Amino acid sequence: MMRKFWFLIPALFLLAAGISFAEGPELARTPPMGWNSWNHFRLNINDAVIRAQAKAMVDSGMKAAGYEYVVIDGGWEGYHDAKGVFHSNNKFPDMKGLCDYIHSLGLKVGIHDSPGPVTCSGREASYGHEQQDAETFARWGIDFVKYDWCSGSKVYKPDQMKAAYDKFHQAMVSTGRPILYSLCQYGMQNVWEWGASVGGNMWRTTADIQDDYFHMAYIGFEQNGLEKYAGPGHWNDPDMLEIGNGQLKPVEERMQMSLWSLLAAPLFAGNDLTNMTPETLDILSNREVIAVDQDREGIQGHRVWQRGPMEIWMKPLADGRKAVGMFNREKRPMTMTLKLKDIGVTGSAKLRDLWAHKDLGSFTGSYTTRVPGHGVVLLRVEP
């Protein structure tokens, strides 16, 4: 009987953490989607760069595909004045004006900060100014805060991490502005077990991703087992997409997009949106794949079969269908077989290839196909 209702575990976890559905969650009902400046630009950002990326998100069709947040990562920070008010640096002369512009495009704005005295790049952060900074962010019109541990360990003991994150959550709540809270502390102290209880809408489960296949694959495939902690309003975050940054081959980019979608992970592009190839845009904006990630049931997928470098992952969907990823982590193509019983399907099922946008027909018992090296075949299975 319990197996039949396993999908209720995320709800039970929220109740155990003291979060009631009467309160929400109003934010992040599905995994958040957007763009973050760090992967491509690092600290080389300014007002003009962010405006251009926001406009490109709209003009390219990515907004229409579901991308919503424009996140200004490290590089905006200035100083706290004598009254304790946080100011952006001279590359961002009018942060409220920038937020107003992004909002005028129908998008939302995110920002990077830290509970420590300085950010990861040594710039001022919010330690000792939490309440004032939350109020400043709300006044600017910020909709998303990525709160990065960075120098937190210089002022907090390990057992104070949870309280430090809760402190800023309470400060944001007191402003009255709905602000999505992204916890970035690299999975330390099993954050997935307590992130929701301090207001987290998403939390990093890993160290920083890098623009190479092995880092991407290691991070993504290590998410198995965390699925019970994810659900509407609170998501495991294996870090941003590296699609379009130059080091992943297109077949590997489709692997990341497929795996992140099966994981119900936040989808944050990290490339230059003003300079995308048609193939990059096609991968990032594939609506059939995005629909897997954004499924309203909010169930994180998990591994159902593995043999050597071959893995099959499954994500139940709200309409009773299932999304299935057949992954080949070997460099050369491999023939793989999906046994329908491994995903809980008896009898026959209709299959659709979500990258080829093609119905494959009806199959009984199993489906065999050739999967490219470092690649994936992503299916939607209808029993």
Identity of the amino acid at 202: M
Distance CA 354, CA 286 (A): 8
DSSP, collapsed to helix, strand or coil, labels residue 188 as helix
> Residue 96, Cβ neighbours under 10 Å: how many?
13
Tokens of 104: 């005028």
Active site residue 208: yes
Tokens linked to 275:
């300079």
By three-state DSSP, how is residue 301 classified?
A: coil
The residue among 249, 244, 284 whose CA lies nearest residue 267 is: 284
- Among 302, 347, 341, 345, CA closest to 325: 302
Contact criterion met (CB below 8 Å) for 360 and 366:
no
In the residue annotation, 239 being an active-site residue is answered as no
The active-site residue out of 47, 73, 133, 148 is: 148
Count of C-beta atoms within a 10 Å radius of residue 154: 10
Q: Which of 208, 211, 212, 342 is catalytic?
A: 208
Known catalytic residues are 148, 208
